[in-house]
Amino acid sequence: MKTQYYKTLLELQALRNLDTKGTTTDSSSLNTDFQDLLNSLLNSVSIESKPSEQQQIMPNLDNLTSLLSKTTSHQLPPISTDSVTKTGQTGDIDTMIRAASEKYGVDEKLIKAVIKQESGFNPNAKSHVGAMGLMQLMPATARSLGVEDPFNPVQNIEGGTKYLKKMLSKYNGDVTLALAAYNAGPGNVDKYGGIPPFKETQNYVKKITASYFA
């Protein structure tokens, strides 16, 4: 199985764990179903999975994403785009960043540094693994954050900032760990007790912090 699938699983699990506060008793059965399906999927995969096995695993991943949406839909409503323009011009992006910064309490400069590294301020950017928009949200992550259109600059920035805020909160405001989790998934940060030993992630954190702390 490709590394990106693991990252998606870890992101989904992190979002599920971080969003359990305030869950009503009506969703308790869905919570149990989600955890059972996640555990089953994690136990069934391996790095050496064959292509045929990967095809069997991916429908389960889709089911997991769908179930996560059901269990968190009352907590993560679709992101509103009414208050900010959508033209995607640099000046408008600054306004969007400011709005998301104020809403989630994340430094504007940090959001800009992440966007610069992720997409170079291109709202139509799409990576070879399917990450989309200014803050390069994966499809499953975007849906879990309430982002309906990842290529909409307003929704993308708000969704990405929301996720970045979750990572900052998880790691007690440690910017380097939050960035490492944004790139490689919080599961890897927890596994290695810090920035994972992945060249891509280490360079990612280095470039963004250099820009942010400059």
| Angle separating helix axes 153-170 and 3-18, nearest 10 degrees | 70
Say if pTM beats, i.e. exceeds, 0.75: no
Q: Which two tokens stand for residue 166?
A: 């979750």
Q: pLDDT tens digits for 159-201?
A: 999 999 999 999 999 999 999 999 999 999 999 999 999 999 9
43: pLDDT confidence band, cut at 50, 70 and 90?
Answer: low
Q: How confident is the model at residue 23 (pLDDT cuts 50, 70, 90)?
A: very low
What are the pLDDT digits (tens) for 108-134? 999 999 999 999 999 999 999 999 999
Compute the distance between CA of residue 114 and CA of residue 205 in angstroms, rounded to an integer: 9
d(CA 85, CA 115): 18
Q: Kindly list the catalytic residues.
A: 118
> Would you place residue 15 in the very low, low, confident or very high pLDDT band (cuts 50, 70, 90)?
low
Confidence class for position 106, pLDDT limits 50, 70, 90: very high
Helices (H), 137-197: 139-144, 153-170, 175-184, 186-192
Spatial distance between the Cα atoms of 94 and 91, rounded to a whole number of angstroms: 5
